[in-house]
Amino acid sequence: MKSGGGSGRTDVTAEYVVVGAGITGASIAAHLAGRGAPPLILEAGQPGCGATRVSGGMVRGYDPDPTTAELASSSIARYAEPSGWNTGVAPLHRVGAVTLAWLDQSEDLRRAQGELRAASGLDAHVVSDAGGSEVAGVRLAGAVALVEPTAGYVDPVSVTRLFVRQAVRDGSRLMTGTRLEAVSGTGGRILLRCAGLTVRARIVVLALGGWTSRPPSGVHVVGALIGTRSIQACVIRRPIGVPPHTTFVDLRTGCYGRPMTGRRSLIGFPLTVWGVDPDSDPAADIGHHRRTLEEVRRFLPWVPRGQTVRLVRSFDGYCDKADLLLRTRSPGVWSVRVGNGGGVRVAPELGRRVAEQLLARPDA
Ligand SMILES: Cc1cc2nc3c(=O)[nH]c(=O)nc-3n(C[C@H](O)[C@H](O)[C@H](O)COP(=O)(O)OP(=O)(O)OC[C@H]3O[C@@H](n4cnc5c(N)ncnc54)[C@H](O)[C@@H]3O)c2cc1C
């Protein structure tokens, strides 16, 4: 990476540039750096300041979407392995994960249980509600459930910082408070314009999360529809005497929850508002919060006695394509798969595969 100056702008040259240091961009940067191709990282705010900042961080191997399931089941192993992290501590809080589904989805869950065991060695079993059944503090509420005792949750911001630290240790440079405004040129001679900074790069990876729906000037993602969708969750203090519970998601309604440190739990219920302006900061929807509490009490009966500590409203990027790397009209400039509401549980494996795909094609 070389730096120079002139006309009030600083010029930097880099072989690889990753734009966006959410959990996705940070993982890609760490994997590129670990393979001898340390990228320059440009981040508009601070690492993990986007959707990653408020994420629930639940990780489980199963997902109805096969691409997500495949990435997520490999990622759990990485989250659970202490030796893969600078700190020597695995980020995974192994409180388990329960996925609730309609009774007629039993066969799908049993198949998934077999696949998790065969492909990733992950422990999983299926249970059905026998009237008031509960798994690790979560009522099954008439569902059939896939239980993954070795899954759980991570702190998404800490993981993002760990990835960034790993990338910097392996030669990357991080520029925070640096928003990419415009892209011009093509393969080999790409020009990235930020306020007060011009970067010349060969390969650029955009990991902008929901901001990809309104990309920097000159970027046109090819063949994919990318939008933003609201996500609202809340933090509830559990009444005295109520122990922590496992993480859960109800596929029938989208309701989910996980324990946090202390006596708190994070719970959420889909708030389907599309086309969120990534730079706006909409107020929490109180009506939706009431519906969330109503819905989640079926699984966590203590919720009406709990105290709401905080409402969290944010958004994530959603895309209609499964590709990990999407082409843009500028050769050498790639846009990475957006989170689709589950970017944390796929980040370690997605970062590895994206880095390997980029390094496998020198003409990328
Ligand atoms: C309330 C909530 C709960 C969630 N719960 C879960 C969960 O339990 N499990 C799970 O797996 N997922 C969950 N998600 C989804 C998950 O958090 C996201 O999919 C993931 O964090 C997306 O990461 P990202 O790096 O792709 O995007 P982001 O974290 O949004 O990062 C994008 C980064 O790009 C930067 N950026 C944008 N534009 C520019 C620019 N022009 N120049 C420079 N930098 C730029 C931004 O500042 C930001 O830091 C949840 C999300 C929310 C909001």
pLDDT, tens only, 47-71: 999 999 999 999 999 999 889 999 9
The beta strand positions in 95-136, using DSSP E, are 97-101, 125-128, 134-135
Cα 48 to ligand 1 centroid, rounded to whole Å: 7
What pLDDT does 42 receive? 98
pLDDT for residue 187: 63
Task: Check residue 165 and give its pLDDT.
Answer: 98
Cβ 51 under 6 angstroms from ligand 1: yes
Question: Which residue among 23, 55, 157, 338 has the greatest number of ligand 1 atoms within 8 angstroms of its CB, and so is best to mutate?
Answer: 55
Rounded to the nearest angstrom, the distance between the alpha carbon of 208 and the centre of ligand 1 is 8
Distance from C-alpha of 26 to C-alpha of 197, rounded to nearest angstrom: 21
Cα separation of 114 and 108, whole Å?
10
Please give the distance, rounded to the nearest whole angstrom, from the Cα atom of residue 40 to the centre of ligand 1: 19
Mean pLDDT on 182-202: 90
Fold of 1-57+155-225+322-364: FAD/NAD(P)-binding domain (3.50.50)
Across the range 263-270, mean pLDDT stands at 97
Please indicate whether residue 32, judged by its CB atom, sits closer than 6 Å to ligand 1: no
In the chain, list all ranges with CATH 3.30.9.10. Answer: 94-151+226-319
For residue 20, give the ligand 1 atom closest to its CA: 34
Taking the centre of ligand 1 as the mean of its atom positions, its distance from the CA of residue 142, in whole angstroms, is 33
Other beta carbons less than 10 A from residue 219's beta carbon: 21
**How many Å apart are CA 102 and CA 243, to the nearest integer?**
27
pLDDT of residue 198 exceeding 80, the answer is: yes
Query: Is residue 79 very low, low, confident or very high in pLDDT (cuts 50, 70, 90)?
Result: very high
Please check the confidence at residue 74 and state whether its pLDDT lies above 80.
yes
Summarised one tens digit per residue, pLDDT across range 286-307 is: 999 999 999 999 999 999 999 9
- Could you tell me if the CB of 110 is within 6 A of ligand 1? no
10 confidence band (pLDDT: 50, 70, 90): confident
Dump pLDDT digits (tens) for 88-140.
999 999 999 999 999 999 999 999 999 999 988 899 999 999 999 999 999 99
CA–CA separation, 307 vs 78, rounded Å? 35
| CATH 3.50.50.60 domain range(s) in the chain | 1-57+155-225+322-364
**For ligand 1, what atom is nearest to the CA of residue 210?**
30
What integer pLDDT is reported at residue 189 of this predicted model? Answer: 87
CATH fold of the domain at 94-151+226-319? D-Amino Acid Oxidase; Chain A, domain 2 (3.30.9)
pLDDT at 241 over 80: yes
